Amino acid sequence: MRTQVCIVGGGPSGLLVGQLLHRAGIDTIVLERRSRAHVLARIRAGVLEDGLCDLLRRAGVGDRMDREGFRHTGTVLAAAGREFRIDFQALTGRSVMVYGQTEVTHDLYAARDEAGGTTLHEIDDVAIEGVDTAAPAVTFRQNGAARRIACDFVAGCDGFHGVSRRTIPRAVRREYERVYPFGWLGVLSETPPVNDELIYANHERGFALCSMRHENLSRYYVQVPLDDSVAGWPDSRFWDELRARLPARIAEALVTGPSVEKSIAPLRSFIAEPMRWGRLFLAGDAAHIVPPTGAKGLNLAASDIHYLSEALIAHYAGDGDGLLDNYSDRALARVWKASRFSWSLTTLMHRFPDQGAFGQRMQEAELNWLEHSTAAQTALAENYVGLPY
């Protein structure tokens, strides 16, 4: 088999770069380790920056998002029983869209099907070869048979545990990581959201987040120790804990119901450099992980895809390889800034094991300053709605 760009990873990053390249007349093959049903069953966050929304529209997959997504012009922060709103629209002239990552993936798969693009699922033993030469290839096994795809370039969109990043030699690769000493217990419930915008709560018992998927599907989180298990959190305990961490007005308005999905996710900040080695280009979780506090995971993947698709389209249009050569630097500049924001908001809103009463009061003091400082609110809003590409 042969293609121009072999895309390793069939999540939203791989599908989005494939769709953008298809619209520019560039041939791609997408390889995915899991089944399509498994990919579409993943529950992920869905706060989309304006940049990602525009990118989806440019890819021809933004119509359903524009019809069904929820435009949010602000968010609520709470601490010490108080709450205040950050008005994104007033401070930056911009907003965010709440539209589930699963829905984005559905839309991208539908577009790839319509385009007749090749997507191979349930593959294993993937190896990326020759990316430091002019003739790279990807080998793998599917249904027990060995297969090989020759290509011009490889887009590594296969996530944190994928083979793409590990293909870059250790002598070349630098990795930076912060593992946080807690996780998020998330519950999905078929209940109306407690608020029409997200609520981030700092509390001496730990962080809480009130989010939503749509008007009858809510997503809630509470900070828990890493060694907790889902089995130790029956629904009644979860709802009691969530209420305890929210201001009274919000807690009283909370509508509860049986959970339809419940899981605990660890938090980490991780960045790998460089994001290019020869003809291999990393994008999304293959190169970086952010804690979900700042809602930057999918959005950072999108900015990578913007830079990568722009560079590949310029190459095949005969406009030179300057953008390919600068891809890693351009992508990493935005990655580090967004990672700083996610780290900062995580540090501000969560309870750390060693912070004590002094640390808790310092967090509350910073939130009080944020409540009354237009400059501080503007900085937060600019980062939340997304820095420019």
**Where in 16-134 does DSSP place strands (E)?**
28-31, 47-48, 70-72, 74-79, 82-87, 96-98, 118-120, 123-129
72 as an active site residue: the answer is yes
Please give the sequence-ordered ranges of beta strands (E in DSSP) within 102-214, or none if there are none: 118-120, 123-129, 137-142, 145-150, 153-156, 174-189, 199-202, 208-214
Q: Is 296 a catalytic residue?
A: yes
Q: Give the three-class secondary structure for 176.
A: strand
Q: Which is catalytic among the residues 288, 296, 315, 350?
A: 296
Q: Examine the residue annotation and report whether 200 is marked as an active-site residue of this protein.
A: yes
Active-site annotation holder among 180, 200, 221, 327: 200
Catalytic, 192? Answer no
What is the Cβ-side half-sphere exposure of residue 79, based on CA atoms within 13 angstroms? Answer: 20
Q: How far is CA 308 from CA 14, 23, 153, 331, in A?
A: 11, 14, 11, 9
Residue 62 in 3-state DSSP? coil
* Catalytic hit among 12, 22, 72, 327: 72
* Cα angle 303-305-309, degrees, rounded to a multiple of 5: 125
Residue in 22, 288, 292, 350 annotated catalytic: 292
Tokens of 243: 């209420």
Answer whether 183's CB lies under 8 Å from 226's CB.
yes
Contacts of 92 (CB under 8 A, 6+ apart): 378, 381, 382, 385
Provide CB contacts within 8 A for 314, sequence distance 6+: 320, 321, 322, 323, 324
Q: List the structure tokens of 352.
A: 């750390």
Q: Tell me if residue 360 falls in helix, strand or coil.
A: helix
Q: What distance in Å separates the CA atoms of residue 31 and residue 314, rounded to the nearest whole number?
A: 24
- Is 337 annotated as catalytic? no
Sheet holding 137-142, edge to edge: 123-129, 137-142, 145-150
Comparing C-alpha atoms, which of 68, 346, 353 is closest to residue 221? 346
Angle ∠(135,141,144) on CA atoms, nearest 5: 150
Residue reference for tokens 């002598």: 171
**Which residues are annotated as catalytic?**
72, 200, 292, 296, 384
